[in-house]
Chain A
Amino acid sequence: MMISKCRFAGLVATAALVAGGAFAQEAQMETPQGFGKRPLTMIVPFGAGGGSDQLARAMAQSMNEVAGLNFQIVTRPGGGGVAAIPDFMLAPADGHTILQHIDLIVAAYAKGDIQENPAEDWAPLCTTQITFNQLYIAGDEDRFSDWESMVAYMEESGEQLTVANLGQVGSMEQITMDMMEDAVGLEFRKVAYDNPSERYGSLIGGHADVLFEQPGDVRNFIESGQMKPIVTFYEERPEVFADVPTHRDLGADFDAMLRFRGFYVKGGTPQDRVDFLVEACERGFNTESYQAFNADNYMDLIDSFRDQEGTRQLINDTVATYQAIYEEMGILE
């Protein structure tokens, strides 16, 4: 009975579409005048199927639930997340174009690769995912089985192993790997892939030996045994990864950096629209479906939510951290 009811709902929904009728959901929030009449564009700075894309689709879904907004998701990979910025900056500041972006863009600003300060020149809406990083090897890897045996293999064979990650010099991935290299006195070949399917495929297909990623993004690969975590970059071992050593367990001494993902509109967007979107973002985060999504993706292990002010704070702190690291590494002129 339950099933046929569901099917009936599907039929009605489809019929409504066929008839060309707009199927507007009842809005529980007061929408600003003239806003949200057409679908919003959400720009994702990486390829389809990765963590950012999954997040954008989940958030679009829950913001539709709470505010009746419809989204068109556009993936624009390239340049470690920088290639999407011109597309975002070209759009009018009317709140109809939302950028989803991650800490990489804050690092790019700290380094001077982009001029736009995400905390000041854009209006942050909220941050909905904060997570730690891990290193993975392929499930069928037979040369080594964990970090220590991998290091032993590298020393013995003299082979330089390849790490698939994203971002450029100075990205979280690269800095973290630099510090790991310092700890063991070895060097990896680092290859940037902006397209998640190519990045994951490179590990499974054997073009790369190690993958730098966040557990939520590759959860299905971990569960199916295609990928195996070997290092967690975090101060403690999360319970679900109790048998994976942290970088500190392996003798590396640095503060692990975290990945965060949030949403932005352009500076100069009318304040009532920004306020509306900020509220929609927070309500969206608190929906049952979004909470389930975050829990499924290990995004509940760290408190993942920051409101607008919290996001600004997070960005400013991150800029300061990165600038200190860059000065130490001599990257910053």
Chain B
Amino acid sequence: MEAFIGGTISLFGDPTSLMLFFFGLIGGMLFGAIPGVNMLTLGAVLLPFTITMNPENAVMLFSVIYCAGVFGGAITAILFNIPGAPENAPTCFDGYPMTQKGQSGKAIGAAVICSAAGGLASVILMMTSTGIIAGWAIRAFGPPEIFALIFFGLAVSASVGAKTLWKGWLSVMIGLLLATVGTDPVGGIRRFNEGSFLGLDYSSYYLSAGIHFIPLILGFFAVSEVLTQAINIATGTRERPKAGLEFPTIAEFWQVRYTMIRSTLIGFFAGVLPGIGATLGAFLSYTQALRWSKNRKNFGKGELEGVVASETANNAATGAAMIPLLALGLPGGALTAMIMGIFQIHGMEPGPLIFINSSELVWITFAAMFWANLMIIVLGWVQTKTVVHILRVPFRWLAPGILVLAIVGAYALRNLFVDVWVMFLAGIAGYFLRSTGYSAAGVVLGLILGAIGESAFATSAQLLDYSILNFLSRPIAATLFILGVLTIVTSVINELRGADQPKALID
């Protein structure tokens, strides 16, 4: 506690630190919100300048950018169905339907409070038990456990947003199939790089690079939404969503308290584990919220709990990602690798000794992340009262803006125009998926979990002598597998019995 107060005083007592703190906060939020650029872009631009800063300020600045950047993308996800960054993608699933129902204020309010709450909880966990958690997580979770965790997540993803369970599973399977396009993650075997389709031979580097999920997400959500709305306008059935200004009530937060706690834990562990991070944390937390919710049928149609799950978890991952970096010297993602770079530029080595050798730096960073998460509430509240008014702009003027943002986002990924075409194809496919009762969210879940799952599976297979049964010899993995199978079986039985049908008919 004394160390935390000390860190806070150093942070706010020095004008340079204070200025950098607010610069990181606002910069991270802006870069997080605009598709096509993200906090990594900002980080890359700023990295050379950290040489002239002292290491405390440099690390502090990057950790603040991290917290704010992960939150920033939620706003565009909720208002326009465009996730500012991949870790905000599950926020679209329910955030945007809420906007359509005139509850944009509620959705953004929930995102603001939950990002802050998830972030704060993870910073507090980080401050109290960094060393212990890092050591435990890295021992308990190897590739087999990560694969089991993904399987467990996939087991429920069929219930997101589809009309029937079967259509839900088909959507997830399409996603898993798309995830197999591209170079095999372990053996390096190129897949779909050449072949023939309808009698035409093709050879393509694009397919062996894999279908990236960013153009797909932009297509499925942003482009297909523009199409849907355009058709509604043409047929005269469109109602403009009201710009809802009201915040969620305390009672509403109380109802989702378990989801918040669960999502914090999921996000936190996703952040601690190398190679998992905020994106998977948000997706897994969303699928778990779905599993335990009483309003399961409502997910994907504007359920507050969905926004809560995704936004709590992705911010909870930020504090957690600092743990393996500081305690073990293991950066789990690109932004933490940049922070690692800052340490190296200044001739410092993160690792078990950093808490002793550079405790001032550690505590300034902890304090900055704590206050940054708290500041999200203030900035977010201001945003809620102002940004939602964009919805008053007529859609015919808004639509080109949304498309321009989506095109920029898809192109900027790797400066390839093909990605833009893929986005438009996905947009058209997304329109038909949605109008026929399939789930675009299910496809995206399949694609993202599939890609990481394949890599974890292939590594596990090598570790476990290529025997599926060996998975069951590891207690954590076995438990997750059994729970996953039970989930699938019960959902199938429920669907066959038609247990939820009367309710669905009323809807």
10 nearest A-B residue pairs (beta carbon): A79-B188, A82-B188, A48-B337, A86-B209, A205-B138, A197-B274, A207-B142, A83-B183, A49-B331, A220-B349
Q: Looking at the complex, which of B16-24, B124-132, B373-381 is the stretch in contact with chain A?
A: B16-24
- Chain A 1-46 residues near chain B, CB threshold 8 A: 3, 6-7, 9-11, 13-14, 17-18, 39, 41
Contact A90 B206 (CB under 8 A): yes
Of B53, B57, B186, B350, the residue contacting A79 (CB under 8 A) is: B186
Contact with B along A188-228 (1 / 0, CB 8 A): 01111111011011101111100000000001110110100
Q: Looking at the complex, which of B66-74, B297-305, B458-466 is the stretch in contact with chain A?
A: B458-466
Contact A197 B57 (CB under 8 A): no
Q: Looking at the complex, which of B44-52, B85-93, B99-107, B153-161 is the stretch in contact with chain A?
A: B44-52
At the interface, yes or no: A327 with Cβ under 8 Å from chain B? Answer: no
Contact B328 A90 (CB under 8 A): no
Distance in angstroms from B89 CB to nearest chain A CB is 20
- Chain B 11-57 residues near chain A, CB threshold 8 A: 16, 19-20, 23, 41, 44-49, 52-54, 57
Of B16, B189, B352, the residue contacting A10 (CB under 8 A) is: B16
CA distance in complex: A200, B333 (Å):
14
- Chain A 274-299 residues near chain B, CB threshold 8 A: 293
CA distance in complex: A72, B336 (Å):
15
Q: Which residues of B contact A86 (CB under 8 A)?
A: 182-183, 190, 193, 205-206, 208-210
Closest to B42 in A: A17
Distance in angstroms from B310 CB to nearest chain A CB is 23
Q: Which residues of A contact B16 (CB under 8 A)?
A: 7, 10-11
At the interface, yes or no: A91 with Cβ under 8 Å from chain B? Answer: yes
Contact B337 A190 (CB under 8 A): no
Distance in angstroms from B191 CB to nearest chain A CB is 10
* Tally of chain B residues near chain A (CB < 8 A): 66
At the interface, yes or no: B143 with Cβ under 8 Å from chain A? Answer: yes
Q: Which residues of A contact B329 (CB under 8 A)?
A: 220-221, 224, 226
Contact A49 B351 (CB under 8 A): no
Closest to B333 in A: A48
Interface CB pairs A-B, < 8 A, 30: A6-B52, A7-B53, A10-B20, A13-B52, A14-B19, A47-B275, A49-B331, A49-B340, A57-B337, A61-B345, A72-B41, A78-B185, A79-B185, A79-B188, A80-B186, A80-B187, A81-B188, A86-B182, A86-B193, A90-B416, A168-B187, A189-B462, A191-B459, A197-B330, A197-B332, A202-B143, A205-B142, A207-B143, A224-B329, A226-B351
Of A7, A89, A202, A220, the residue contacting B205 (CB under 8 A) is: A89
Interface size class of A (residues with CB under 8 A): 35 or more
Closest to B458 in A: A192
- Chain B 202-244 residues near chain A, CB threshold 8 A: 205-206, 208-210
Closest to A190 in B: B462
At the interface, yes or no: B436 with Cβ under 8 Å from chain A? Answer: no
- Chain B 462-479 residues near chain A, CB threshold 8 A: 462-463, 465
Contact A197 B324 (CB under 8 A): yes
At the interface, yes or no: B344 with Cβ under 8 Å from chain A? Answer: yes
At the interface, yes or no: B353 with Cβ under 8 Å from chain A? Answer: yes
Distance in angstroms from B109 CB to nearest chain A CB is 29
Contact B349 A78 (CB under 8 A): no
Contact B465 A13 (CB under 8 A): no
Contact with B along A104-141 (1 / 0, CB 8 A): 00001000010000000000000000000000000000
Distance in angstroms from A333 CB to nearest chain B CB is 16
At the interface, yes or no: A269 with Cβ under 8 Å from chain B? Answer: no
| A224-B183 CB under 8 A given contacts A17-B45, A198-B275 | no
Q: Which residues of A contact B44 (CB under 8 A)?
A: 39, 71-73
CA distance in complex: A64, B350 (Å):
26
Contact A79 B184 (CB under 8 A): yes
Contact with A along B333-348 (1 / 0, CB 8 A): 1101110110011000
Contact with B along A50-84 (1 / 0, CB 8 A): 00011001000100100000111111011111110
Of A80, A197, A220, the residue contacting B275 (CB under 8 A) is: A197
Contact A14 B206 (CB under 8 A): no
At the interface, yes or no: B455 with Cβ under 8 Å from chain A? Answer: yes
CA distance in complex: A70, B46 (Å):
11
Closest to A293 in B: B344
Q: Which residues of B contact A80 (CB under 8 A)?
A: 186-188
Contact A201 B328 (CB under 8 A): yes
At the interface, yes or no: B415 with Cβ under 8 Å from chain A? Answer: yes
At the interface, yes or no: B497 with Cβ under 8 Å from chain A? Answer: no
Closest to A76 in B: B209
